[in-house]
Structure 1
Amino acid sequence: MIDAAQTRTTILVAACETIAELGFEKVRMRNVAERAGVSTALLHYHFENREKLFHEALRYTFETVGREEYEAPAPAENPHAWRLARIIDSSLPMDEDTRRDGLLWQELWLRAARDKESREFTHWLYAELRDWIGGVIAEGVAAGSFGPCDPRRVADLVLVLTDGYSVHLAFGDPAFDLQAAETTIWRLVSAELGLTVPFPRRHPDGSS
């Protein structure tokens, strides 16, 4: 028997896929219900309208995308740098999940520019991201892995850089590629953290 939590997750995944594929303005609740394999009545039971569903879908991606990589045991050498690198990875379109996640964020930016509720939600979501990234940086500073810095300011730098590169990578700008983006972001962030190690890639051969 499928429980309510599992149904909610199925709907959220379907919403993420549908919104990324069609764009928020074209999505109707029935589109999401059909992809999730549920009735529109059940969909409305969990989410009263499109806005609530969209915001919860974004909250879901924030909580899940890249989690498996981030929560995997870090190597003994430079563990804090490894964690920060995984945050950068999860913020760039490196695979199907992160590409979909990036498209959802772009939809949110458009909504936030025109809609007060979406703007307030965006402020909250970025505050959560800033706290998460800043917390990882603060831990690295406390452990002596990073040099003295303002963790929140460096977190903002990470956010601005990954957001900017994500836009170009999402639409396949030939002037940009993933590894070059990672390298450039890491160089600029490393200058703030006093790091000299190269970007810790997920695989020893340097692949993504």
Structure 2
Amino acid sequence: MTTKVRGTADTRERILTAACEVIAEIGFEKIRMRMVAERAGVSTALLHYHFDTREKLFTEAMTHSFAHTALDAERDADTAPAAVVLARILRNLLPTDPELHQDWRLWQELWARALRDETTRVFAVDLYAELHAWVTGAIRRGIDSGEFAPADVDDLGTLVLSLSDGYGIRLMLRDPAVTLDTALAAVWRHVAGALGLPAELPEEPSET
């Protein structure tokens, strides 16, 4: 990668990271391009060069957020036990840390905007399809390797996303009836039953 191309990629990365932060903090409807430019440390003109509208910036920020989450969860998918990778994905589908809490705020902005804007609705449906493919891909790898029992992969993927959304919303609302541990345990219980896995959510292997 040339220095110029790398510099352009780094600038887009800074802008998208800043956009995720600002949208999560104040909401899409209140965001101004100037706010994102200031957070990213770039000029408004440079921001508009990369993203000419707020809507384009928002959709790119959502895609950026999901891509980073998926990359982290899949970092050793070829070598780690399939159950460990799947459990990691489940943790990344819930607001389990500050970064994922920010991601959830972005999703809430996406849902609200999708109800009022057809282009955003289509984008949201497509992004859910990517999430579904992410989850089902991990399940299929486990089945193909013999680590998981055969199952209806598409149906199980839809169930995982539906449960994660439901529990995630209640966690974001700080509903006292739901804790992160109980939410993870409940989602895993359905997954484990379908795939013939132990009922206890697997932990990350300790680093040596």
TM-score (norm: length of structure 1)? 0.91
Whether 1:130 aligns to 2:120 is no
Percent of matched pairs sharing the same residue: 49
Aligned residues: 202
Describe the shift of the 1:130–1:75 C-alpha distance in structure 2 as closer, same or farther (beyond 3 A). Answer: same
Unaligned runs of 5+ in 2: none
RMSD after superposition:
1.8
Deviations 1:165-190 (A, max 9, x none): 11111121111111111001100122
Deviations 1:73-132 (A, max 9, x none): 7876xx111111011111111111100001101110111111111011011111111112
Deviations 1:130-157 (A, max 9, x none): 1121111111111221111121111111
Q: Distance in 1 between matches of 2:114 and 2:77?
A: 36
Report the equivalent of 2:52.
48
Residues 68-87 of structure 1 mapped to structure 2, 5 A cutoff: 68-72=72-76, 79-87=81-89
- Letter matched to residue 21 of structure 1: E
Whether 1:23 aligns to 2:27 is yes
Describe the shift of the 1:85–1:121 C-alpha distance in structure 2 as closer, same or farther (beyond 3 A). Answer: same
Q: Distance in 1 between matches of 2:73 and 2:66?
A: 14
C-alpha contact (below 8 Å) 1:66/1:86 kept by paired residues: no
Q: Distance in 1 between matches of 2:37 and 2:205?
A: 38
Residues 141-160 of structure 1 mapped to structure 2, 5 A cutoff: 141-160=143-162
Report the equivalent of 1:106.
108
- Letter matched to residue 82 of structure 1: V
TM-score (norm: length of structure 2)? 0.91
Q: 2:63 aligns with which of 49, 59, 63?
A: 59
C-alpha contact (below 8 Å) 2:149/2:196 kept by paired residues: yes
